[in-house]
């Protein structure tokens, strides 16, 4: 599965402002051995480094990370730095701020004035002088509130040269409209996958009309979310996978990518074999009938 046709280039590219990324990227959350939302054993350091280097070899040039992606002994940002610096010229690293974790792992949420410190934390860990893309990750408690002060603080850091492009994460259409009135937004990162509610489908289409990348997270995990992909894949997904000689994860990724040319994927894994499988999903093409079949069997979500 290491042929040229299985490289990340097979799924095409998209522009994040002045940055060109391949539509299949890589999510760094699982590199540390456990999701930041659940305990687990630290990852094998050399294996995580090897996965990152293999991702770049396969053509991945978009890596999604965060300073709060760490376990007891591993930091995703520091693994990225160790594995890939000096960074390839075309590599785009996206991170996110507003949530944070103190050294013991306890969560906290930044004030607008504290966002600069979070940006600088990412810069230090990654060993960079600027961040390519920074997403403002909205807390659940602000689903209906204003994000203007926080996004405005990031816009100031962009003007100061610490950030090249801005995005928003875990947002509503109202959040996006508020942010766009302050500064350009190049991407929306929201939970999405087979079985996503119709209002999120509408939001995905709106982003496409605006020329904004839509970047799903949990596209493979589905209902499993932070826990990862499990054994609860629907029979519809399993049936399509069998018919295509593919895995359920590949079907989920292919379905997501076919929602529009502006849709990017950032599947995460610490397993070298799963990495190759995920990247190869960019070559899987589902017919309109298969897409409709999956949609009809997941209309009310999973």
Radius of gyration of the chain (CA): 18
pLDDT digits (tens, 9 = 90+) for 137-184: 999 988 899 999 999 999 999 999 999 999 999 999 999 999 999 999
Report the number of distinct structural domains present in the chain: 1
- Residue 169 in domain: yes
pLDDT tops 70 at residue 15: yes
In a domain, 112, yes or no: yes
Q: Do the domain assignments include residue 301?
A: no
Q: State mean pLDDT over 232-256.
A: 91
Q: What is the distance, to the nearest Å, from the Cα of residue 58 to the centroid of all Cα atoms in its chain?
A: 17
Question: Other C-beta atoms within 10 Å of 237: how many?
Answer: 23
End-to-end Cα distance, the chain: 30
Do 121 and 90 form a contact (C-beta atoms < 8 A)? Answer: no
Average pLDDT over residues 7-34: 94
For residues 179 and 210, the answer to whether their CB atoms sit within 8 Å is no
What ranges in the chain are assigned the alpha helix state H?
Answer: 45-57, 76-84, 115-126, 148-159, 173-180, 198-210, 235-244, 248-257, 272-280, 288-296
Band the pLDDT of 12: cuts 50, 70, 90. very high
pLDDT class for 299, splitting at 50, 70, 90? Answer: low
Between CA 94 and CA 147 the distance in angstroms is 20
Task: Judge whether 189 and 168 are in contact, CB under 8 Å.
Answer: yes
Identify the residue whose tokens are 């050399």: 46
pLDDT at 284 over 70: yes
Residue 88 CA to its chain's centroid (Å)? 20
Selecting among 69, 87, 192, 214, the annotated active-site residue is: 69
pLDDT at position 221, please?
58
pLDDT at 297: 78
Specify the pLDDT at position 247.
94
Q: How many whole angstroms separate alpha carbon 247 and alpha carbon 132?
A: 32
Is residue 69 annotated as a catalytic residue, yes or no?
A: yes
List pLDDT tens digits, range 216-236: 987 775 544 444 444 456 889
The arithmetic mean of pLDDT across residues 246-274, rounded, is: 95
pLDDT band at 300 (very low <50, low <70, confident <90, very high): very low
Within a domain: 302: no
Quote the tokens at residue 163.
Answer: 């950030």
**pLDDT, tens digit (0-9, with 9 covering 90-100), for 144-154:** 999 999 999 99
Between 34-38, 70-74, 85-89, the lowest mean confidence (pLDDT) is in 34-38
pLDDT of residue 220: 75
| Full domain range(s) for residue 91 | 4-296
| Four-residue CA torsion sign, 271, 276, 278, 279 | positive
pLDDT at 282 over 90: yes
What CATH number does the domain containing 107 carry?
3.20.20.100
Has residue 181 been placed in a domain? yes
CA–CA separation, 14 vs 265, rounded Å? 11
């Amino acid at each position: 599965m290491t042929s040229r046709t299985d490289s990340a280039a097979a799924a095409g590219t998209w522009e994040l402002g002045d940055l060109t990324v391949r539509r299949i990227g890589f999510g760094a959350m699982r590199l540390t051995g456990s999701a930041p939302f659940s305990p687990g054993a630290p990852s094998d350091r050399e294996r995580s480094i090897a996965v990152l280097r293999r991702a770049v070899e396969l053509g991945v040039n978009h890596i999604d990370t965060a300073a709060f992606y760490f376990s007891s002994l591993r930091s995703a940002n520091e693994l990225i730095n160790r594995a890939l610096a000096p960074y390839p010229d075309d590599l785009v690293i996206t991170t996110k701020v507003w949530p944070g974790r103190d050294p013991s792992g306890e969560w906290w949420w930044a004030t607008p004035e504290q966002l600069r410190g979070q940006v600088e934390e990412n810069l230090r860990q990654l060993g960079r002088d600027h961040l390519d893309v920074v997403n403002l990750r909205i807390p659940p408690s602000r689903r209906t509130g204003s994000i203007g002060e926080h996004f405005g603080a990031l816009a100031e850091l962009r003007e100061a040269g610490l950030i090249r492009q801005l995005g928003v994460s875990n947002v509503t259409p109202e959040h996006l409209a508020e942010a766009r009135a302050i500064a350009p937004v190049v991407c929306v990162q929201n939970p999405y996958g087979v079985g996503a509610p119709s209002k999120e489908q509408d939001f995905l289409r709106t982003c496409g009309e605006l020329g904004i990348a839509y970047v799903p997270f949990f596209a493979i995990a589905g209902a499993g979310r932070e826990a990862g992909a499990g054994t609860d894949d629907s029979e519809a997904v399993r049936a399509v996978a069998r018919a295509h000689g593919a895995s359920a994860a590949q079907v989920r990724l292919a379905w997501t990518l076919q929602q529009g040319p502006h849709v990017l994927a950032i599947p995460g894994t610490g397993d070298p074999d799963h990495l190759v499988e995920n990247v190869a999903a960019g070559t899987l093409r589902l017919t309109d009938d298969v897409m409709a079949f999956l949609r009809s069997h997941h209309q009310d979500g999973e």
